[in-house]
Structure 1
Amino acid sequence: MLSEKNSETPTFQVVSVSRENIPGIANWPSSGPHGHYHWPNASDGSGSSVIRTGDRIDVTIWDSQENSLLTNPGQRFTEIRGVEVDGNGSIFLPYVNKVGIRGLTSAGARSKIQSRLEPIVPSAQVQVSLQQGRDNSVDVVGGVAKPGAYPMPSRNYKILNVLSDAGGIPSNMRNPQVRLLRGSKTYEISADELFANGSKNALLQPRDTVIIEPDERAFTALGASGQENLIYFPKDRVTALEALSLMGGLSDFRADPKGVLVLREYKAEHLAPDGTGPNLQQVVFTFDLTSADGLFAARKFQIHPDDTVLATESPVNAIQTVFGLVGSAFGLTARASALGN
């Protein structure tokens, strides 16, 4: 490791992590699949209560005049139920032909229909009831107790509302990630951050799709630790010290606490010779956990997805291993000599 660090043409960069350089390293670009996307503002309105194509409208027309064009004899009103808003945003009504109502609220549609009726039936009064169609619903397709399509009751329907209506997120899911698909855009946030921050409770829009999935980010644990395995992130951020704990700690008799390494690979566009980023794509971060400085640095250093955390073997353990092999060889030689005699 030291020979590579001092080489005139190193193939990877070696960085000894300390409290002094932790702030600078924290500003380096992220590596691996970070799993965080932009999240919409909670104040973004949904407009879900306006009329859209595919909605159905119930229209009730009241007319107190005798011999009204719109009502049967002896009746004071007539009902026209289930009129679908067509692709042009219009509905058909007798005597007034097509009325464009897409984009209006129920009150706006009532006013427009009544104004179109006034030249024919001046005394008519109109009531409008909206039955929202498929385009005014939100799909929850996974990671909840009751996936399905959920109609939006109002323009104030929020992400936490639909998660509650869908039965909530299972408590045993690993660091659940809430993904929101809106048109060609994808938004993502962890459930913990969503629940903890009211400003993240975004308003939904018609035809949104919500998916809940376990966090798939992971790092690889190798070397003289409690386990060698792929370890998934149990929360949004994991420090180097927490990573060692997830690995089962350092082996008492094998590990070298002065030789804990984090191997990371950056993209070529992230290289920054001015120190604001890595000099080479492959970087090895080293930690000395026998010093207070190294321990505090490990508490601040953030593990990235696809990192490899390596607990190196103690030099003493390596020597003991060699002595053991030599001793075994001597033992075999002695036994062979005894058999020869």
Structure 2
Amino acid sequence: MRFAALVILSMALASCAALPGDGPGAINISSQDIEADSSQNGYSIIRIDRENIDVIKRYRPLAFANEFRGVGSGGSSTLLGVGDTLTVGIWEAAPDGLFSSSDSGSSQIPAVIDETGYIFIPYAGRIRAAGLSVEGLRQSIQNKLIGKAVEPQVLVSLQQKLSKTAVVVGDVAKPGVYPLPLRQTRLLDLVATAGGSREATYETVVTLKRGRRSGTTRMEHLIDYPENNVLVSPNDNILLSHRPRTFSAFGAVKSNQLVPFKTKSVTLAEALATVGGLNDFKADSGGIFLFRYEDSDLVRDIRPELAKHVANEKLVPVVYQLSLRDPNGFFLSRFFEMRDKDILYVSNHPTAEFGKFLQIIAPLISNVSTVQGITE
């Protein structure tokens, strides 16, 4: 019977790796074999230390800005176009002129550039306006009136530049089509003109569609990183979407759950506290991992030796590892900020796996002992 017990014990030990669990152990994620060949395993391991924290804090996410760098004019052209509304003022030297009235010696004529690019002025006829500057149109009208009006003087005022517009829709206070002024207009300028976002800025994303190009960023990144506040171009489409940030917590924490961000920033220390901290009976304090897709530029800054593996990628799967066995880990966790859709995982301690093993074989040992007692 003792031999039978030993056989059962040996079989159970052999199958220990197949025990049920919350996820992989720390050794399975960060073993030397995996770290040695990150390209084959599909992700990179980055241990959080003081140097890495400094690099991560200094990093500026500018993928959105790079998408639109050098593409677009940033405002309306100074030339007039179809749909622009104008006011044409005409003055004459004589009180009885064509455009004089009993109240004043001038007339104010509203005009809209039609689909053919022309406007109509009495006694001057149809005049080409599209493609001209305001000054060029003024001179053209004045020349047309020479010999018809008494020493005419003309002033052209641009009321609305409706030939060059951008669209703002989504979770914005006043969605609509907005004319672009002649001055350069930036993304935040246009969002502000549309009344701003209806939700908190840290829960709002901005998508800019320009021709075949498209980019999305958090609205707060337009403020925190001014390079992302790109110039707006005619025919741009801008979408504001309410997208609350969340992170997921798995493994040996006291509460496995999907956690919403309740403030603009959440650190790794706060994230662990939100889910109740580590499970005292299961957690490996040296095996705290955070899974995310990271910008390849940042990965190259932290791990230059991986440059050739991420050369053609915008986003790279990265596993950050933190150990709380060293008190410094607690300080580091205060400066590591969580991001939307991060996955926080705490691995089981090897002794926790052994505890599961004991629970499985305990009935077998008990049965063997009972049989042995009966036979004796």
1:313 aligns with 2:343: no
Q: Of 65, 72, 76, which residue of structure 2 is paired with 1:38?
A: 65
Q: Of 291, 294, 318, which residue of structure 1 is paired with 2:326?
A: 291
> How many residues align structurally?
329
Identify the range of structure 1 (204-213 vs 228-237) with the bigger mean alpha-carbon deviation. Answer: 228-237
Structure 1 residue identity aligned to 2:119: I
How far is 1:236 from its partner? Answer: 8.2
1:5 aligns with 2:40: no
1:17 aligns with 2:40: no
- Contact 1:238-1:303 at 8 Å conserved across structures: yes
User: Deviation per CA, 1:180-232, whole angstroms, max 9, x where unpaired?
Assistant: 33444445543334345778666644443332123477654321124434556
1:109 aligns with 2:133: no
How far is 1:38 from its partner? Answer: 0.7
- CA gap of 1:268–1:336, structure 2 versus 1, over 3 A, is farther
The runs of 5 or more residues in structure 1 that have no matched partner are: none
- Contact 2:165-2:234 at 8 Å conserved across structures: yes
1:192 aligns with 2:227: no
How far is 1:47 from its partner? Answer: 3.4
- Contact 2:82-2:163 at 8 Å conserved across structures: yes
Q: In structure 2, what is the Cα distance between the partners aligned to 1:91 and 1:83?
A: 6
1:43-192 matches, within 5 Å, as 46-47=75-76, 51-65=80-94, 70-71=98-99, 77=106, 80-87=109-116, 89-94=117-122, 96-102=124-130, 104=132, 106-118=134-146, 120-121=148-149, 123-132=151-160, 134-152=162-180, 155=183, 159-172=187-200, 175-186=203-214, 188-192=216-220
- CA gap of 1:109–1:234, structure 2 versus 1, over 3 A, is farther
Q: In structure 2, what is the Cα distance between the partners aligned to 1:7 and 1:160?
A: 44
- Contact 1:48-1:205 at 8 Å conserved across structures: no
Identify the range of structure 1 (146-155 vs 328-337) with the bigger mean alpha-carbon deviation. Answer: 328-337
Measured on the aligned residues, the alpha-carbon RMSD in Å equals: 5.0
How far is 1:142 from its partner? Answer: 0.9
Q: In structure 1, what is the Cα distance between the partners aligned to 2:298 and 2:239?
A: 31
Local SS of the residue matching 1:38? helix
How far is 1:143 from its partner? Answer: 1.2
User: Deviation per CA, 1:295-341, whole angstroms, max 9, x where unpaired?
Assistant: 4554555667665432112334333333344445667889999xxxx
Q: In structure 2, what is the Cα distance between the partners aligned to 1:111 and 1:268?
A: 56
Which residue number in structure 1 is paired with residue 19 of structure 2? Answer: none
**TM-score for both structures, normalised by structure 1:** 0.68
Local SS of the residue matching 1:275? helix
Q: In structure 1, what is the Cα distance between the partners aligned to 2:228 and 2:299?
A: 33
How far is 1:257 from its partner? Answer: 0.9
Identity of aligned residues (%): 26
Local SS of the residue matching 1:253? coil
- CA gap of 1:274–1:203, structure 2 versus 1, over 3 A, is closer
- Contact 2:76-2:181 at 8 Å conserved across structures: no
- Contact 1:175-1:234 at 8 Å conserved across structures: no
Which residue number in structure 2 is paired with residue 209 of structure 1? Answer: 237
**TM-score for both structures, normalised by structure 2:** 0.63
Structure 1 residue identity aligned to 2:167: D
